[in-house]
Chains A and B, each alone.
Chain A
Amino acid sequence: MSAPLLSARGVGKRFGGRVACHDVSFDLWRGEVLGIVGESGSGKTTLLNCLAGRLLPDSGSVTYETKSAGSVDVHRLSEARRRLLARTEWGFVNQDAREGLRMGVSAGANIGERLMAVGARHYGEIRGQAADWMTRVEIDVERLDDRPNTYSGGMRQRLQIARNLVSNPRLVFMDEPTGGLDVSVQARLLDLLRGLVEGLHLSVVLVTHDLGVARLLTHRLMVMQGGTVVEQGLTDQVLDDPQHPYTQMLVASILPV
């Protein structure tokens, strides 16, 4: 018997009178990468924050299948359990790496934090794992003791990914992980992400406005407009044969590339 890893049912959120997202439902399976695409203001980031337990939806529910404690309603967990989940079984990659990193401490401390948060108390082992993860995200181990404010944008983003993956999460939320980076830096990061996601059999919910990123990384797509999902399906199908006029417009607008 197998249950979806993450299930959303009728998730909705308003800010004041404005609908940010409305009646969103989907299932995410192990090893699956789901893309949420749409323009800015489409509600995709609000939805992501609701899914990750960072925002309380006004309606609907989000269910997550934990490693050992069965399925849980993300928003009915105690704050303590939700935060524990967020730093063990989940990851969250921010568009702005500065929001996801501690800029005042070394790369090693950034990567080691999750290990220490769950009780690791051997400096040498923590450092060893941090060094290992530096290599896996293609950062020179020589930079282990440097602070992220001496890193380039692309390196910071890779460090943020390592900081999340060190705890072996099963589910990673990503908010425009390649946004704001140069095209060549983006390409390298996308390659790295694709390798990690496949190699670690990660499940990912990825928010992006960039259909190229969606094409490269995701298996399935949800297209959002004005807070509602207007189309969803396998990524190739949605991008090659868009049915909804809004999706057609999005796809047409990147054709020249």
Chain B
Amino acid sequence: MPDTTIQDTSPQDGAYNYGYLDEQTKRMIRRAILKAVAVPGYQVPFGGREMPLPYGWGTGGIQVTAAIIGREDTLKVIDQGADDTTNAVSIRRFFARVAQVATTTHTAEATIIQTRHRVPETPLTDGQILVFQVPIPEPLRMLEPRETETRTLHALSEYGVMQVSLYESIARHGRIAKTYNYPVMVNGRYIMSPSPIPKFDNPKLDRSPALQLYGAGREKRIYAVPPHTPVKSLDFDDHPFEIETWTESCALCGSTESFLDEMIVDDTGKRLFVCSDTDYCESRR
């Protein structure tokens, strides 16, 4: 992938509004967010704007963040659990500049956390907002390519086909092999893609005190899970949903409860396991 840094968008040059987006666009995105919050798990179309970075770098999440951020906010941005990747650093700098907000790497200090691929290990609290970057918002897309048909399936709650895909996984692998982007039922009504987070994070979505907002830039969809909403991972009675477990503990902080990344540390192929959530790991050392 190309090294992407966000263009200089300093508001001092007068070319950009506060938070980068113009007020009309923000209002439109906010309306979509309100609708999404009112109908948990339902994908709301919105008229997305071109953002100063390519799709795949979190344009959906950035637009959502830009529409809700204010000067009192403290922003944290993570990518695969880390605060220090190029993408996370770029987005954090971007908002520090265009919205003049404080930024942090500490989960507990943040009011808005924009994320790609993880939910922080530190439990979220009332008043926090978690903004997910979503590549493919439609959980039924791989099973049903026609957009008109997936819309009907959601409208009528016809979700047999989703269960068919889980059945097929067990028939093929002896268990539900899906480990990322594991589909969930929101509030007993809509099946939702939790974005490509590990299924390890799915239980954190259930009845979370934080507001979850999901933004898909390319497909221009926003969906939401309001605080304390039930989120159930799909499964079978005799093949219940289970999260990943490790026999190892984190080599840096010793955690046995966090999501671990495997690293090859030398030429002999020696492997180490460390927390994917860098803030969590550092806070424990």
Contacts and interface: CB of A to CB of B under 8 A. Distances in A.
Contacts of A1: none
Interface in A209-228: none
B25 to A, nearest CB: 35
Contacts of B163: 116-117, 121
Q: Chain A's interface: helix, strand, loop or mixed, by majority?
A: helix
B168 A121 contact: no
Interface in B236-264: 236-239
A79 B156 contact: yes
Chain B interface, >50% SS class: helix
A124 interface: yes
A109 B238 contact: no
Which interface residue of A108, A109, A114 has the most chain B CB atoms within 10 A?
A109
B238 A112 contact: no
Contacts of B164: 102, 105, 109, 112-113, 116
A56 B152 CA distance: 18
Interface residues of B, number: 19
A3 B121 CA distance: 63
B172 A145 contact: yes
Interface of A: 79-80, 83, 87, 102, 105-106, 108-109, 112-114, 116-118, 121-124, 126-127, 144-145
Given A102-B164, A109-B164, 13 more contacts: A83-B158, A105-B164, A105-B168, A108-B171, A112-B167, A113-B160, A113-B164, A116-B160, A116-B164, A121-B237, A123-B236, A144-B171, A145-B172
5 contacts: A106-B171, A118-B160, A121-B235, A123-B239, A126-B167
Interface of B: 152, 156, 158-161, 163-165, 167-168, 170-172, 235-239
